[in-house]
Amino acid sequence: MLKKISVVALSLMLATSCVSKKIYTDLEDKYAELKKENRDLADQNSSLSENLNKTKNDLDRLQKEYDAAVAQRDALKSDYEATKANLSNLKSSYDALEKNSSSEIAKNAQKNRELLAQLEAKEQALANENARLEKLKQELEARSQRVAELEHVIASKDAAMGQLKDAISKALTNFEGKGLTVEQRGGKVYISMENKLLFQSGSWAVGANGKEAVQQLGSVLAENPDIAILIEGHTDDVPYQGNGQLKGNWDLSTKRATAIVNILRENPSINPENLTAAGRGEFAPIASNDTPEGRAKNRRIEVILTPKLDEISKLLEDI
């Protein structure tokens, strides 16, 4: 859809030098959809973190239940051994009394029967507790294994994102100090390119240096097909003073994000399904708009790289 919008918009601009209300509305609706998808991704990431914490809490609870069951089993075992010793003593008394008194023999026989019944009940209780303990142990081991697998996958993805960040930094070394930064935070990689590297004031045409930087970034992204790529356009809070083709900063930021997407799409190894363009206008500043330096930092393109979370989601469903 973004490709169709871009082609139609370019055709209309070349033909009439203005953008129709319908194209603007389509762009605005698309941005709303992208914004919702972005919120959904954030919610999903938050939900995954909550599920991981819940799983660890469940694991702790199972460990406590297991420890309590071991303690109860040991107590039953001690009780069983004491009862068994008591029975042995009564049998010895029975043997002694058997020689002297039939009534005492009968009395001890009844006690023996009662103790035997108690012993059998305790043996059964101990067997049941051992079975429950074994079941808890197996469940604890299974959950521990799945949690370990989940932590391994998360660590692997973090490591992969770290390697991706290093590869991008290496590929874009020539542009360091020219309005380009690369950093990793929250499991994602953020590439920020100030407009002085990419665009002239009020324009969405990418300059030669900017195009070279985007192409070098694309060469790294082409080797990482399992990464979602979000391109966000940002402006300062100075109202757009163009020639009427656009209706404001939001339009301008969207056109600039789409221009970066189009350059990345020139690389046939990048899956277009992994690409998303969004305009944020002046509504996500990273610096104060009260100074020229702050406004320059806010006029930027941000490329946000996110690992796909399908494998993590499946592990959480299995826990």
Indicate the pairing of strand 188-194 with strand 275-281: unpaired
- Residue-level pLDDT at 214: 96
* pLDDT bucket at 7, cuts 50 / 70 / 90: very low
pLDDT of 103 higher than 80: no
Q: What pLDDT, on the 0 to 100 scale, is given for residue 293? A: 94
When the pLDDT of each residue in the chain is averaged and rounded to a whole number, the result is 84
d(CA 13, CA 4): 14
DSSP 272: G
Inter-residue contact 13 to 24 (CB < 8 Å): no
User: What is the C-alpha to C-alpha distance for residues 215 and 221, in angstroms, rounded to an integer?
Assistant: 10
pLDDT of residue 8: 43
Q: If DSSP codes are grouped into helix, strand and coil, which group holds residue 275?
A: strand
Distance in angstroms (rounded) separating the CA atoms of residues 74 and 12: 83
Average pLDDT, integer, range 251-269: 96
Residue 315 has pLDDT above 60, yes or no: no
102-129: string of b/e by CB count within 10 Å (b at 16+)?
Answer: eeeeeebeeeeeebeeeeeebeeebeeb
Burial of 74 (0-12, 13-18, 19+ CB in 10 A): exposed
Minimum mean pLDDT range among 6-15, 105-114, 163-172, 188-197: 6-15
Percent of the chain predicted with pLDDT > 70: 89
Q: What single-letter DSSP state applies at residue 173?
A: G
- Eight-class DSSP state of 246: S
Quickly state the pLDDT bin for 311 (edges 50, 70, 90): low
Across the range 53-67, mean pLDDT stands at 84
Whole-structure pTM over 0.75, yes or no?
A: no
The one-letter amino acid code at 236 reads D
pLDDT score recorded for residue 143: 74
Tens digits of residue pLDDT in 16-33: 455 578 887 888 888 888
> Rounded to an integer, what distance in angstroms lies between the CA atom of residue 30 and that of residue 2?
8
Letter string b/e over residues 262-276, b meaning 16 or more CB atoms within 10 A of that residue's CB: bbbbeeeebeeebbb
Say if CB 217 and CB 172 are below 8 A apart: yes
Residue 281 has pLDDT above 60, yes or no: yes
Q: Name the range with the highest mean pLDDT among 9-13, 108-112, 170-174, 209-213.
A: 209-213
Q: Spell out a b/e string for 16-48, using b for 16 or more CB atoms within 10 Å of the CB, else e.
A: eeebeeebbebbeebbeebeeebeebeeebeeb
Flag whether pLDDT at 312 surpasses 60: no
| Angle of CA points 265, 267, 270, to nearest 5° | 75
The listed range with the strongest mean pLDDT (31-40, 64-73, 228-237) is 228-237
Q: Strand, coil or helix: what is 109? A: helix
Q: How confident is the model at residue 316 (pLDDT cuts 50, 70, 90)?
A: low
Q: Which of 49-53, 158-162, 211-215, 260-264 has the lowest mean pLDDT?
A: 49-53
Q: Please give the pLDDT value at position 44.
A: 80
Q: How open is the CA angle 165-169-172, to the nearest 5 degrees?
A: 135
For 192-212, what is the mean pLDDT? Answer: 93
Residue 69 has pLDDT above 70, yes or no: yes
* DSSP structure class, residue 202: T
Rounded-to-integer distance, Cα 220 and Cα 120, Å: 72
Q: Which of 285 and 123 is assigned the larger pLDDT?
A: 285
